[in-house]
Amino acid sequence: MTRLLTLLLLPPSWLYAGVVAVRNWLYDTGIWTSTAAGVPLLNVGNLRVGGTGKTPHVAWLAQQLLDSGQQPAILSRGYGRQTTGFRRATAADTAATIGDEPWQHFRGFGGRVPVVVDEDRRHGLAELAAQAPAVTAVVLDDAYQHRRVRPDLNILLTELARPFWLDYVLPAGRLRESRRGARRADVVIVTKCPADLPARGQERATARARRYTRPGVPVLFSGYEYGAPEPVFTAAGPPPAPHQPVVLLTGIAQPEPLLAELRRRGHAVVAHHRFADHHAFTAAELAQVRAAVPAGAVIITTEKDAARLREPALHTSAASLPLFYVPIRVAFLADGAARLQALLTPLLTPRAVA
């Protein structure tokens, strides 16, 4: 967006920000109430529209809880699903019925972590408590602006390349609310950082973030660790060899880190079929992708996209493709993981590790 266009869009941006500010004031003053839960609520959210890395950070938190002997659950609104209301994920579900990110979590944890979706998080928490009383903590996926529930730990994510402190409220920028919303954060995580981000760069980002947070709020830094490509379907064939040409297929907000990783591994990315975030792929689109794959190349996608590509309606079109996804997991810089764990521990009821 050019600077001139940004300036022209600032008046409606201020209007939108004002409406959201009034809503937040009503919650902050107690005129509108936020509800706690009988178990700790750990929220992972952002100020910005688009991908900041919520999905792998939610998975990281759930895994930490499991490793601590807790029984976590994940609650999401289920963005992009074709159903409504409360729904608890089962093996019969798909990305279409619960959303691609919840389905990714359910599949990734092998059912060990209850995954539920509900547009109304307050209602979703009540239903979850009734159906899964053994749950000891709930990770809220993208509930930073959902003020009807009150998290015990509010984790705010922001990308290093697109930090909230340099952005504007919609439509002039990509923020859902003003930068002042960062004051609700208990910890800020700057995401998608290179592993060798200099200490000076971390100090500058910390200082910028703390212009908007409460005093003393920790600012942590995380990046991604990429695993070896895994087949989306068993018929995909052998995994790509080093330096083998690849075609990239994505329907996420920020595919640039994966693109950079493939190039770092020496792959020639001969084509990139890029779709919007949460895109519902069609058989016709997959046929076009197949036609554009040169001899000797394979197709690489993301784990979130793989959830949608496994839809039953796409099986005939997708199952015979040389299609692989690259798993990712969060890797904190320096002592970030220990510092976040230190924030979690006081909130959790001690339980014996099974």
92-102 residue pLDDT tens: 999 999 999 99
Task: Return the percentage of the chain with pLDDT > 70, whole number.
Answer: 98
Q: Is the pLDDT of residue 352 over 80?
A: no
Are both 319 and 268 inside the same structural domain?
A: yes
From the list 212, 228, 86, the residue with the least C-alpha distance to 156 is 212
Is 45 part of a structural domain of the chain? yes
* pLDDT for the residue 179: 97
Q: Which domain holds residue 295?
A: 228-326
Contact 220, 185 (CB under 8 A): no
Confidence of residue 4 (pLDDT cuts 50, 70, 90): confident
* pLDDT for the residue 351: 52
DSSP string, 137-174: EEEEES-TT-TTB--SEEEEEEESSS-GGG--BTTTSS
Is 124 part of a structural domain of the chain? no
Are both 241 and 294 inside the same structural domain?
A: yes
Is 306 part of a structural domain of the chain? yes
Q: Is the pLDDT of residue 6 over 90?
A: no
51-82 pLDDT, tens digit per residue, is 799 999 999 999 999 999 999 999 999 998 99
Q: Which amino acid does the sequence have at 104? A: Q
| pLDDT average, residue stretch 183-188 | 98
Are both 154 and 233 inside the same structural domain?
A: no
Q: Is the pLDDT of residue 326 over 80?
A: yes
Q: Is the pLDDT of residue 221 over 50?
A: yes
CATH number of the domain that 14 lies in? 3.40.50
Confidence of residue 50 (pLDDT cuts 50, 70, 90): confident
| pLDDT average, residue stretch 283-311 | 93
The tally of CA atoms less than 13 A away on the side-chain side of residue 161 is: 12
3-state class of 35 per DSSP? strand
Are both 184 and 307 inside the same structural domain?
A: no
Is 130 part of a structural domain of the chain? no
3-state class of 84 per DSSP? coil
Residues pairing with 41 in the sheet: 138
Are both 50 and 140 inside the same structural domain?
A: yes
- Would the CA dihedral through 57, 62, 66, 69 be positive or negative? positive
Are both 11 and 48 inside the same structural domain?
A: yes
Residue positions counted in the chain: 354
Are both 59 and 152 inside the same structural domain?
A: yes
CA-to-CA distance for 202 and 185, rounded, in angstroms? Answer: 18
Q: Which residue has the higher pLDDT, 51 or 213?
A: 213
Q: Is the pLDDT of residue 338 over 70?
A: yes
Are both 172 and 297 inside the same structural domain?
A: no
| pLDDT average, residue stretch 139-145 | 96
State which H helix or E strand residue 11 sits in.
Answer: helix 3-28
Are both 219 and 237 inside the same structural domain?
A: no
Is 114 part of a structural domain of the chain? no
Q: Is the pLDDT of residue 1 over 80?
A: no
* pLDDT for the residue 61: 98
CA-to-CA distance for 165 and 177, rounded, in angstroms? Answer: 12
Are both 148 and 260 inside the same structural domain?
A: no
Are both 45 and 149 inside the same structural domain?
A: yes
CA-to-CA distance for 337 and 348, rounded, in angstroms? Answer: 17
151-164 pLDDT, tens digit per residue, is 999 999 999 999 99
pTM exceeding the 0.95 threshold for the entire prediction: no
The tally of CA atoms less than 13 A away on the side-chain side of residue 141 is: 31
Residues pairing with 117 in the sheet: 76, 87
Is 108 part of a structural domain of the chain? no
Task: Return the percentage of the chain with pLDDT > 90, whole number.
Answer: 87
Is 53 part of a structural domain of the chain? yes
| pLDDT average, residue stretch 268-280 | 93
From the list 127, 142, 126, the residue with the least C-alpha distance to 36 is 126
* pLDDT for the residue 177: 97
15-42 pLDDT, tens digit per residue, is 999 999 999 999 999 999 999 999 999 9
Are both 35 and 158 inside the same structural domain?
A: yes
Q: Which residue has the higher pLDDT, 10 or 128?
A: 128
Is 245 part of a structural domain of the chain? yes
Domains in the chain: how many in total? 2
Q: Mean pLDDT across the chain, nearest whole number? A: 93
